[in-house]
Amino acid sequence: MDITRRQLGTLVGAALLTPYLPARRAAAALAWQLMWAPEASSVGLGAFETIEDDRADSHPAGQPHIFAEGNNFRFNMHTVDRDTMTDRQRQEVTGTRNPSGYLQWLKGETWRVTYSMFIPSSLKATTTFTHISQTKMPGTGGLPITTTSLRRVNGVQTIEHTIYEQGILVGRTNLEPLQDKWIDAEYEIKIGDGSAGSVRWVLRDGSTTLVDATKTGDTFLGDRVRPKWGIYRSLGDTSGSLQNCYMLLTNMRAYKQVQVTATRLEAENATISQGVVESNHAGYSGTGFVNSDNVAGAYTQWGFQQGTAGPATLTIRYANGTSANRPMDVTVNGTVVASGLSFAGTGAWTTWASKTVNATLVAGANTVRLTATTANGCPNLDYLDITGP
């Protein structure tokens, strides 16, 4: 039976709603908890654990080389700047600091960092190393764990991310199309020894994703992992690329992956329009899944109560054994929050995948409806997980 919002509105009180609510249970889910979101204009360099601004004091006239400029963090590099090891230059910040202290990124944890960066054409890729971000174990002298670097490959300027010691290239793309504009970087580091570690690196130019790659590799040396940003480069470049330059960073965010409890609503308990419950493809949760008719407009709708209003993550588990996309509209309380969201083939009807959508829920009764927007119908639907508020 379909409960429309209008009908729901005529029902009074949770007790009356209860018979129409699907079975729900708690499920463990992973979520990203925002841990660090410094605004350069207010916290300045207090965003970081330490500042390595011309630590050899090689160029006092150029100091500060690192500072907040508007809402950006700015790193200036002059050709005369020298690090304590004089074959290289370094203007870097380390770590992620909140008013209550710096964050510790520990073995077994997974962290995600996102930020926007501006690489001017004066900051060029070199034949030897030019790192613009690293992760390291605290202390001087240790090797990097991961690096984002501007490297010349066969004469072409590129930007790359590596798991350093094992020489694992996570991803690489051409640098020149990305200079003199804001681009967005994202990386995730699962901190572990050997194959327990992994890194994901994403680089976007506006809505275009240039790299989204994940590689397994050792991401733990000892103690803890600490990120660094800035310009750290060798003077050994043979391409004539070293000149006065700078880099800007903004919108820096760090998230830690945490276990949270989600409410799981099985599709087989939902309101189904133009579809049936089946159980012939293994791997589903609960007692089955919904196989919608192959028509536009077929939908599955869940109704549920929320204690508090606020942002939530909706996780949709599905399988699509065809090679054709099966887009759906995601409608929350009557408003489309994701239009024609793509649900691409998963390889087999027994291969289940998840897609997340952010939505704002109200206190009290809520509905989430997934509606096929093409004649292919919906993918097979297993469940809806609701995480937060």
Q: Please give the span between the terminal C-alpha atoms of the chain, in angstroms, as a whole number.
A: 28
CB 289, CB 384: distance < 8 Å: no
By C-beta, is 112 or 281 nearer to ligand GCU? Answer: 281
Q: Per CB under 6 A, does 377 bind ligand GCU? A: yes
331 is a contact residue toward ligand GCU (CB under 6 A): no
Q: Any contact of residue 346 with ligand GCU (CB under 6 A)? A: no
Report the C-alpha gap between 236 and 209 in whole angstroms. 32
Token pair, residue 219, equals: 């991401």
User: Residue 233 Cβ, how far from ligand GCU at the closest point, in Å?
Assistant: 54
What's the rounded Cα separation, in Å, for the pair 23 and 12?
20
Closest approach of ligand GCU to the CB of residue 294, in Å: 5
Q: Binding of ligand GCU at residue 371 (CB under 6 A)?
A: no
**Closer by beta carbon to ligand GCU, 239 or else 354:** 354
Q: Does 281 bind ligand GCU (CB under 6 A)?
A: yes
Nearer to ligand GCU, 34 or 375 (CB): 375
In the set 349, 361, 367, 368, which binds ligand GCU (CB under 6 A)? 349
Q: Give 149 or 380: the residue with its C-beta nearer to ligand GCU.
A: 380
Our finding on whether 294 is near ligand GCU (CB under 6 A) is: yes
Distance CA 2, CA 310 (A): 26
- Residue 380 interacts with ligand GCU (CB under 6 A): yes or no: yes
Taking CA 293 as the corner, what is the angle to CA 385 and CA 323, rounded to the nearest 5 degrees? 75
Q: β-strands 50-53, 182-190: how paired?
A: unpaired
CA angle 171, 177, 178 (to 5 degrees): 65
**Cα 57 → chain centroid:** 37
By the rule CB under 6 A, 230 interacts with ligand GCU: no
Nearer to ligand GCU, 48 or 343 (CB): 343
Alpha helix (H) residue ranges in the chain: 5-10, 13-17, 40-43
Q: How far apart are CA 130 and CA 115, in angstroms?
A: 19
Contact indicator for 336, 293 with CB cutoff of 8 Å: no
Nearest to ligand GCU of 274, 294 (CB atom): 294
Helix (H) or strand (E) holding 354: strand 353-361
By beta carbon distance, the residue nearest ligand GCU is 291
Contacting residue, 126, 135, 162, 291, with ligand GCU by CB under 6 A: 291
Q: Which of residues 146-165 bind ligand GCU (CB under 6 A)?
A: none
Minimum Å gap between C-beta 351 and ligand GCU is 12
**Cβ–Cβ < 8 Å for 102, 46:** no
Give the residue with the Cβ less far from ligand GCU, 215 or 326.
Answer: 326
CA distance 124 to 243: 8
Q: Does 263 bind ligand GCU (CB under 6 A)?
A: no
State the nearest-atom distance from the C-beta of 299 to ligand GCU, in Å. Answer: 14
Residue ranges in contact with ligand GCU by CB under 6 A: 281, 291, 294, 322, 349, 377, 380
